Amino acid sequence: MSDVKYEMKIEDVVEILSLFEDAGMLVVIDGGWAVDALLGQQTRVHEDLDVAVLHADVPKMRALLSERGFVDVPRDDTWECNFVMGDAKGRLIDFHSCTFDEEKRNVFGVAYEWEAWQGEGVIGGRKVRCIEPKILVDYHSGYEVDANDFHDVKLLCEKFGLAIPKDFDGFA
């Protein structure tokens, strides 16, 4: 797969969401596709689809994708709660999993708060759950940001009346 150019197209996102949702699994869109879901339209090309999922669903998700030709794509930050799967068509899915207890407190995995998972957006004409706008902007801070990050944050801040974080002063 090293010679494959990665791109996650809107029809791929809809297909993958349908696959998981038809199997009864909760999927929360994160990353660049979450930005586009909140904006209600695709604003740029996406290399991958970032998803936040319940850790208990990970084995079933892996099995469903393996049946469709997806394999693990090792990364430096790979661990049981953060991993990437890709296929020969150039589609990448970046998984971020965690476990919430009965009081919706995160007790394992990627440090999401339940409130972060309460955003709603639209992808390909269908309503999706995604990371809440203010929290999504916060998630775009605290690391070395790039032009895609600035693009996403600028559009979110404009639509939702949020301040652009200081991390992006060099792009303004």
d(CA 118, CA 122): 13
Global pTM value? 0.94
Give the orientation angle of helix 147-160 with respect to helix 31-39, to 10 degrees. 30
- pLDDT of residue 172 exceeding 90, the answer is no
Query: Could you report the per-residue pLDDT of 63-83, keeping only the tens digit for each?
Result: 999 999 999 999 999 999 999
pLDDT confidence bin for 53, thresholds 50/70/90:
very high
Query: Could you report the per-residue pLDDT of 136-151, keeping only the tens digit for each?
Result: 999 988 788 888 999 9
d(CA 1, CA 100): 35
Query: Could you report the per-residue pLDDT of 6-48, keeping only the tens digit for each?
Result: 899 999 999 999 999 999 999 999 999 999 999 999 999 999 9
Query: Could you report the per-residue pLDDT of 85-120, keeping only the tens digit for each?
Result: 999 999 999 999 999 999 999 999 999 999 999 999
Q: Where are the beta strands (DSSP E) in 2-88?
A: 27-30, 48-54, 71-72, 82-86
Q: What is the mean pLDDT of the chain?
A: 94
Give the model's pLDDT for residue 4.
53
* Between residues 76 and 172, the one the model is more confident about: 76
pLDDT confidence bin for 170, thresholds 50/70/90:
confident
d(CA 121, CA 128): 5
- pLDDT of residue 125 exceeding 60, the answer is yes
